[in-house]
Chain A
Amino acid sequence: MIEVENIHKSFGDAHVLKGITTTFDTGKTNLIIGQSGSGKTVFLKCLLGLFEPTEGKICYDGQNFSELSSQEQRALKEDMGMVFQGSALFDGLTVAGNVMFPLEMFTKLAKSEMEDRVNIVLNRVNLVDAHHKFPSEISGGMQKRVAIARAIVMNPQYLFCDEPNSGLDPRTAIVIDNLIKEITEEYNITTVINTHDMNSVMEIGEKILFLKDGLKEWEGTKHEIFKTDNEAVTNFVYSSELFKKVRQMYIEERN
C-alpha cells in the first residue's frame, strides 16, 4: 500500500502539486487521470522518488520514503518496477539483455538462474521468440511487453506505469491493460498507472484518482465514475459522444 499525505511540489515559482492526499491499495490497479498539465507525471515521479516533494510524505507499506537512509531508499527502489511511456528499453541490449539487466545489477544469481527467470517473465508477457532481438527490431506493443517484463523480473512490490497504452492500437492497448491487471493480481503488487486512455479507466480502473491543476479533484472506482456529478470529471471522461452514450446506457441499466 502506498499512502500519500499532503504532497506539494514546486519548480521555482511554479507550484505543480498543491497538496494531494490519497492511498493506493495493494493488489489493485490504481489509475491517475487528468488533463495534460494537471501534474500527473510530476506526481508519478514523486512516487518513484525521481522528484523530492517540496512538502508532505509518501509511505510505502508504512515506510516514510524521505525518512529512510540513502541505502534504505535504494533497497526500496529495488522493490519498484516502472514501465515508461516510451518503454525506455536500452538500445544496446537485446530483449533478454534488457530483462536480465536488473538481475545482473542487483542479484548474485548464477547466469543460468537469471536466464531461467528471464524465460519465465518473457513467457508471462507472451514474448517467447524475441530473446535475441534488439528493441529497434520489435513492434511498439512488444516493446511495452518487454518493459513490463523488465519491471516485474525482480518481483517488485510496486509497479508504476506512465501511459502504457500511448502509441498503441486499441487491440494491443487492451492486451497491455489486461496484462498489467493480471500481473497486479497474480503478484499481489501495488500498481499505479498514469493514463489518458478512457478504455483503460473503464476496463481496469479499480481505483481512479482525477487530478486537476495539481489538486485531487475526485477519486473513486470505475463504477462510481459513471455516477459522479463532478463536472470536471464528466467533462474530461465523457468528452466523446461514444462515452456519453455508454454512460447514459449504464445509468439507464442501473435504474
Chain B
Amino acid sequence: MKYLADIGGYAIMVIDLFRKPTKWRIMKNLILKEIDELIFGSLGIIVFISFFIGAVVSIQTAMNLTSDLIPKNLIGFATRQSIILEFAPTFCSVIMAGKVGSFITSSIGTMRVTEQIDALEVMGVNALNYLVFPKIVAMMLYPFIISIAMYVGIFGGWFAGVFGGFITSADFVEGVTMDFIPFHVTYSFIKTFVFAFLLATIPSYHGFYMKGGALEVGKASTTSFVWTSVVIIITNYILTQLLLT
C-alpha cells in the first residue's frame, strides 16, 4: 500500500513541479548552478569509471577468446557494443544514482529539516518548481557525460588490449568500426534521457517529502539510491524490450 502511495505521490510531484514557474531571471541562474554541480561535478568519476570498465571488458573478452578461429578484432567489437549499449548508459546511471541522487536527496532533505522549504512555501513560491525543475533541466545534459563515457570506455579498452599485449591497435580499431549500427547510439541516448529524468526526480521526491531530522536525511539518501537504481534497472529492461526487439 505504501508503494502505491509513493507512486501516486511521485506522479503528483511531477505534475506540481511544472505549475507556477519561477521567474526566468532567477531560474536561469539556478539551472547554471545545477549544471555545474550535477553535470560538471560528475565528469571526473564518470571518466575514471568508464576508462577502467572499458579496460576490464577488453581484457575479459580477450581472455575468453580461446579459439584461433575467432578473429582478434572481436575484442574491439565486444568492447564497443558493451560500452555503448550497456555500460555507459546503465552502469554510469547506477553510479550517478549514488553520487548525484544522494546529493539531491540530502540537500533537499536538509532544506526540509531546517524549514527552508516551509519558508519558500510561506512566501508563496512553488518550492517544487524552484528546487526540482532546475535539476531536471540540468540533467538533460546528462547524455553529454554519457557520450564522454562511451569514448573514454572504448579508449580504456584499446589501452588495456594494446598495452596488455592482447591485440594490436589496428585489430582493435577494425573491431570498433565493424558492423556499426547507428541506432544503437540512438537507443543508448533515449535510455540516457529517461534515466536523467529519473535521476533528477526520484531523489528529489525522497528529499522533498521526508520527515524527521538529520538521521532521517541519511536514511532518505539511502532509500533514494536504492529506489533510483531499482527503477533505472527496470526501465532499462522495458526500454530494451521496446527499442531493440
Contacts and interface: CB of A to CB of B under 8 A. Distances in A.
A203 B33 CA distance: 45
Given A84-B115, A85-B115, A86-B114, A105 B122 contact: no
Nearest to B126: A74
A89 to B, nearest CB: 8
Interface string B98-142: 000000000000100011101101111100000000000000000
Contacts of A104: 23, 25-26
B115 A86 contact: yes
Contacts of A89: 116
Interface residues of B, number: 17
B7 to A, nearest CB: 21
A105 B116 contact: no
Interface stretch (A9-17, A30-38, A75-83): A75-83
Contact of B123 (A86, A105, A160): A105
Interface in A160-182: 160
Nearest to A76: B124
A48 B123 contact: no
Interface in B20-38: 20, 22-23, 25-26, 33
Nearest to A78: B124
A90 interface: yes
Given A88-B115, A88-B116, A80 B22 contact: no
A84 to B, nearest CB: 5
B113 to A, nearest CB: 9
A191 to B, nearest CB: 15
A242 interface: no
A48 B22 contact: no
Contacts of B124: 74-75, 77-78, 106
Nearest to B113: A86
A92 B115 CA distance: 14
Interface in B54-86: none
Nearest to A92: B33
B98 to A, nearest CB: 23
A94 to B, nearest CB: 14
A102 B115 CA distance: 16
Contacts of A84: 115, 118-119
B23 A48 contact: no
A179 B146 CA distance: 54
Contacts of B123: 77-78, 82, 101-102, 105-106
A47 to B, nearest CB: 10
Contacts of B110: 91
A82 B122 contact: yes
B115 to A, nearest CB: 4
Contacts of A77: 122-124
B230 to A, nearest CB: 29
A105 B119 contact: no
B122 A80 contact: yes
A105 B115 contact: no
Nearest to B121: A50
Nearest to B22: A105
Which of B20, B22, B116 is most buried by chain A, counting CB atoms within 10 A of its CB? B116
Given A74-B124, A77-B124, A106-B124, A88 B119 contact: yes
A48 B26 contact: no
Given A82-B119, A102-B123, A105-B125, 7 more contacts: A75-B124, A77-B122, A78-B123, A84-B118, A91-B116, A101-B123, A104-B25
11 contacts: A74-B124, A75-B124, A77-B124, A88-B114, A88-B115, A91-B110, A91-B114, A104-B23, A104-B26, A105-B22, A105-B23
